[in-house]
Amino acid sequence: MSKLIVGNWKLNPESASEAEALASAVDRRGTVVCPPFLYLATLKKALKRAKLGSQDAFWLNSGAYTGEVSPSQLKSLGVKYVIVGHSERRRFLLESDEMINRKVEAVLHLKLNAILCIGEDLETHGRGGGAALAYIKEQLRRDLDNIDVKYLKNLIVAYEPVWAISTFQTGLRDTPENAQKTIEQIKDFLAKRYRLSQSVVLYGGSVNAANASGYLSQASIDGVLVGAASLKPNEFNKIGI
């Protein structure tokens, strides 16, 4: 199976014309581009090869929910992938596992691909001795609570250790070997608990052109979720090549 390369643009760029130019510069098969909501329609036209993704979705499809964007609106715009539960939303928007659980379910019910982000924080990581794995499993249990297993075939998990995100300056990041080990354990958990024998799990956290092949060459890592480097075509275009 070819590996999936997902670009998460976060709160960038500044204007629709920059978004259009960036989209054209990174448009290739096997990739997913996730711009801010307000550039989705522009990118739908600009992208010929890459798939369109969003960075979030609400858990209901209509109603009095000011400021929200529904999975069905995203679907009608041509969105195929929806990131849910990114650690920045958990942290800055106080998204709870209960909210994330409803979002994952709503996205999967529409047969969109949900990219569920999980990962331990620095404090948990520092405790060692299986603390990170216990934390991740608990996130998965809560985020997938009560979702009928028949919907889980469109689930993609992104393992993003929170302490390794946006850490290009400090150089703090997980090693490919350690990420491989954790992802193997995540897959094992998904297989045992949800009977998902073919789960898809990505790695994310300071992935760039220089280190991507280390992660992508690991047997259990099915792709990468890329933040900062997805805004630089000369970096992003080298990932997965």
What would the DSSP string read from start to end of 136-199?
HHHHHHHHTTT--GGGGGGEEEEE--GGGTT-TTTT----HHHHHHHHHHHHHHHHHHH--TT-
Interface with ligand PGA, residue 231, by CB under 6 A? no
The single residue of 88, 105, 160, 235 carrying the catalytic annotation is: 160
> Tokens standing for 27?
């448009």
The residue written with tokens 């995203």 in the block is 74
Residue from 22, 165, 196, 216 touching ligand PGA (CB under 6 A): that is 165
Instruction: Give the Cα separation of 31 and 27 in Å (integer).
Output: 8
- In single-letter form, the type of residue at position 192 comes to K
Q: How many residues bind ligand PGA (CB under 6 A)?
A: 13
User: What number of other Cβ atoms are within 10 A of residue 17's Cβ?
Assistant: 10
Q: Which of 85, 205, 223, 240 binds ligand PGA (CB under 6 A)?
A: 205
For position 225 contacting ligand PGA by CB under 6 A, the verdict is yes
**Is 12 an interacting residue with respect to ligand PGA (CB under 6 A)?**
no
Exactly one of 147, 216, 228, 239 binds ligand PGA (CB under 6 A); that residue is 228
Residue with tokens 């609400």: 58
Site for ligand PGA in 133-162 (CB under 6 A): 160
User: Considering the rule CB under 6 A, would residue 8 count as an interface residue with ligand PGA?
Assistant: yes
Residue 31 within binding range of ligand PGA, rule CB under 6 A: no
Closer residue to ligand PGA in complex, CB, 42/166? 166
Q: How many CB atoms lie within 10 A of CB 62?
A: 10
Can you give the binding site for ligand PGA, defined by CB under 6 A? 8, 160, 165-166, 204-207, 225-229
Q: Which residues are tagged catalytic?
A: 86, 160
